[in-house]
Amino acid sequence: MSDQNSARGGKAGPRGAFAIERSHIDDWVSTLLERGEVIAPTAGCGGDVLYAPVSTPEQVRWEFSNSLHPPKEVLLPQTDPLFDIRGDRAGWQLATLPPQSPRILLNARSCDVSGLQFLRRVHASDLEDPAFLRRDAGLTVISLSCPMPCPQGFCVCCDAGPFLDDGFDIQLTDLGEVMLAEAGSANGEELVRAAGGWFRPASEEELSRRCLLEALAIDSFGESTCHFASAMRRISTGRVADALWDTMSDWCFECGACTLVCPTCYCFSIKDRRGDGAWQRCRLWDSCQYAAFTLEASGHNPRSHRKDRVKRRFYHKVSAQYYVRDKSVGCVGCGRCVTVCLGTTDMPAVVAAIRKGVWHG
Amino acid sequence: MDDLYLPRLARITEARDETPDTRTFVLRLRDGSVPGTLPFVPGQFLELSVFGCGEAPFCIASSPTRPDAIEVTVRRTGQLTDALHALGPGDEIGLRGPCGNGFDLSSARGKDLVFVAGGIGLPPLRGLIWNVLDEREQFGKVTVLYGARTPSDLVYKNELADWGRRDDLELLVTVDRAEPGWEGNVGMVPILFDMTELRPATSLVYVCGPPIMIRFVVQDLLMRGFAEDSVISTLERMMQCGVGKCNHCAIGHRYVCRDGPVFSYRQIREMVE
């Protein structure tokens, strides 16, 4: 493990690392607010952390356990309009939607940035998805690295955190009195330079502190890990006993929460919704865990058994076939499915059961 | 940007009743009905939009050898098909596609062809049958075996009568339950296999119908010596996007809308649900 840490450490900021005094952070956020809509973690009802548009720097949270809902909605809203529909059956007019105005996602956690990267790969592969690309075009991602793993997180097993090598425009690391800012893209570099004098090049000492924080973070995961490799081998070759899927799916309540909070889930349905004086063709989140997901017009349902639906979810996320297509497992180790599952059919539990061939019962 | 989800507009020019719950719609694109505006091969499908209701996939029931209009045959089974049936000549709908792979005609040339259809499973094969008949000299013996629940449920009745009169096509029809006036065969589709001469070594078989029919027909064909690669079907799945994104039609890592809907029986057998 320590070899791996030192290999990961030491390469901070592919496009340069900068530092900003904590006392200037709010000033910087003010300049971000002038550039476009800023979506950041805020204090929601009952103390929940909620990613939402902010209007003042004071609303932005800097110290928080990750939100229950990932910020994937910036790229995949629950209801995602595709085009406007006007007219009637005698003649229709279809109007595509205007380009997305610039937005900045501030303080996204590493796993969630990896989730956005996953979605980008999926929607750009094979046929490019124009609705997704339209939303992505104006988005700047500023991530906040995670020196302290969250209780259910296992991002380290998915190469999705706790610190990132890429996928961000800027990666922030909290060093106490200063905030380290690594530029990951030309856009991020420009954002730092445009901030005027608040940023200065990071010192060697600051960079090595960042690397030490990353190494300590990786070491502190302890037992909360998820070993995909052997589960992948078994799922990909169909060597998971039907009886095991049966037993595991007994613990699934079919609520679909695992898929709704998952940063990499993207299944959808298409519906027309009535807007102001016009219809809108929309895509809406759907879940492969619902029986109606595969219900055919004839009444036939190829996945009428819950076992087959649970199997489908893990095939899509963990099989080698999808790993090859999507360049990673469909999991970023955020641990949200562990938190929300009413039973225990979450990613680490199912992967462990497949690996060991027995369910915890 | 070529928008994956934005339909083209098409007008219904004709609507023909096939059965009490099934109707064929003839469509022309608003932006030009000339040949070439919608290149397709038999077996591909369209996503049809009834605006304000939604969209759903329907196979193209006509042939690219007759490109003036596009035909789809639709059975009423739910909200969208109800809304579509409420439309008639002059009304406008949306159309995306063609989607999917379609039948590989090049591998069929020179072969004997057997078409096995059940009920509403004939429309997906009808475009291919037309295409084959329009290029008749390129194919061997052509046999069409068609079954429906009752005589009233047979689609394309006029066309079946025409095909029955042709001497370059063998047509056998059966119904599960006879009605007064029916003098034809009674029984499930596989009974027709014994009424014709099947040539497993030189034939391709195209099967389309309800899942239960496909299962029995394929079992029967394999027992009669047909190779798994020679039995070809077009799969029905719940679909939404038609372009391999929404995941409704995924079987394993294959997408019926993108990798299919046409698969050989060997491919179907190797797919993991």
The chain-wide mean pLDDT, for chain B, equals: 93
Are B90 and B128 members of one domain? Answer: no
Instruction: Show the tokens assigned to A332.
Output: 């970023």
pLDDT at A2 (0 to 100): 36
Are B16 and B77 members of one domain? Answer: yes
Please give the average per-residue pLDDT across A222-226, as a whole number: 75
Are B111 and B227 members of one domain? Answer: yes
Q: Which of B84, B99, B114 is the last residue of a domain?
A: B99
Domain, as residue range, for B87: 8-99
Q: Which residues of B fall within a CB distance of 8 Å from A308?
A: 273
Nearest to A263, CA basis, from A116, A107, A144 = A116
CB contact under 8 A, B5 and A83: yes
| Structure confidence by residue, pLDDT tens digits, B200-235 | 999 999 999 998 899 999 999 999 999 999 999 999
| Structure confidence by residue, pLDDT tens digits, A78-136 | 999 999 999 999 999 999 988 999 999 999 999 999 999 999 999 998 899 999 999 99
pLDDT at B273 (0 to 100): 74
Are B68 and B161 members of one domain? Answer: no
Instruction: Show the tokens assigned to A318.
Output: 């963990």
Sheet holding A37-43, edge to edge: A49-54, A37-43, A103-109, A139-144, A170-174, A178-183, A17-21, A199-201
Are B33 and B133 members of one domain? Answer: no
Are B75 and B182 members of one domain? Answer: no
Residue A15 in this model has a pLDDT that exceeds 80: no
Q: Is residue B215 part of a domain?
A: yes
ipTM of the complex as predicted: 0.90
Long-range contacts of A62-68 (CB under 8 A, 24+ apart): A62/A25, A62/A107, A62/A144, A62/A174, A63/A174, A65/A150, A65/A151, A66/A109, A66/A111, A66/A112, A66/A150, A66/A153, A66/A334, A66/A336, A67/A41, A68/A261, A68/A336, A68/A339, A68/A340
Residue B187 in this model has a pLDDT that exceeds 90: yes
Residue A318 in this model has a pLDDT that exceeds 60: yes
Q: Which residues of B fall within a CB distance of 8 Å from A297?
A: 56, 77-78, 81, 238
| Structure confidence by residue, pLDDT tens digits, B12-61 | 999 999 999 999 999 998 876 555 568 899 999 999 999 999 999 999 99
Please give the average per-residue pLDDT across A348-352, as a whole number: 93
CB contact under 8 A, B253 and A308: no
Q: Which residues of B fall within a CB distance of 8 Å from A300?
A: 210-211, 236
Nearest CA in chain A to B74: A297
pLDDT at A222 (0 to 100): 77
pLDDT at B32 (0 to 100): 64
Locate tokens 């079919």: which residue?
A254
Q: Is residue B241 part of a domain?
A: no
Locate tokens 């039995």: which residue?
B231
pLDDT at A19 (0 to 100): 96
Nearest to A300 among B51, B211, B273 (CB): B211
CA–CA distance, A340 with A359 (Å, rounded to integer): 19
Q: Which residues of B fall within a CB distance of 8 Å from A298?
A: 77, 210, 236
| Structure confidence by residue, pLDDT tens digits, B61-85 | 999 998 878 999 999 999 999 999 9
CB contact under 8 A, B3 and A96: yes
| Structure confidence by residue, pLDDT tens digits, A291-312 | 999 999 889 999 999 999 999 9
Q: Which of B49, B69, B99 is the last residue of a domain?
A: B99
Q: Which of B99, B125, B143 is the last residue of a domain?
A: B99
Q: Please tell me the number of Cα atoms within 13 Å of A78 on its side-chain side.
A: 5
Sheet holding B70-75, edge to edge: B54-59, B45-50, B92-99, B8-19, B22-29, B70-75
Are B69 and B119 members of one domain? Answer: no
Q: Which residues of B fall within a CB distance of 8 Å from A275?
A: none
Are B62 and B126 members of one domain? Answer: no
Residue A3 in this model has a pLDDT that exceeds 50: no
CB contact under 8 A, A129 and B53: no
- The total domain count for chain B is 2
| Structure confidence by residue, pLDDT tens digits, A37-52 | 999 999 988 889 999 9
Residue A5 in this model has a pLDDT that exceeds 50: no
CA–CA distance, B97 with A213 (Å, rounded to integer): 52
Are B55 and B117 members of one domain? Answer: no
Distance of CA A76 to the CA centre of its chain: 11
Query: To the nearest whole percent, how much of chain B has pLDDT over 70?
Result: 97
- The pLDDT-based confidence of A360 (bands split at 50, 70, 90) is confident
pLDDT at A9 (0 to 100): 41
CB contact under 8 A, B2 and A130: yes
The chain-wide mean pLDDT, for chain A, equals: 91
pLDDT at A7 (0 to 100): 37
Q: Is A99 helix (H, G, I), strand (E, B) or coil?
A: coil
Residue B1 in this model has a pLDDT that exceeds 60: no
Would you list which residues of chain B are within 8 Å, Cβ to Cβ, of chain A?
A: 1-7, 9, 49, 51-56, 77-78, 81, 87, 90-92, 94, 210-211, 236-238, 240-241, 243-248, 250-253, 258, 272-273
pLDDT at A18 (0 to 100): 95
Please give the average per-residue pLDDT across B111-138, as a whole number: 96
pLDDT at B163 (0 to 100): 95
> B241 near B215, Cβ under 8 Å?
no
- Domain regions of chain A by residue span: 2-69+90-219, 228-268+288-356
CB contact under 8 A, A268 and B246: yes
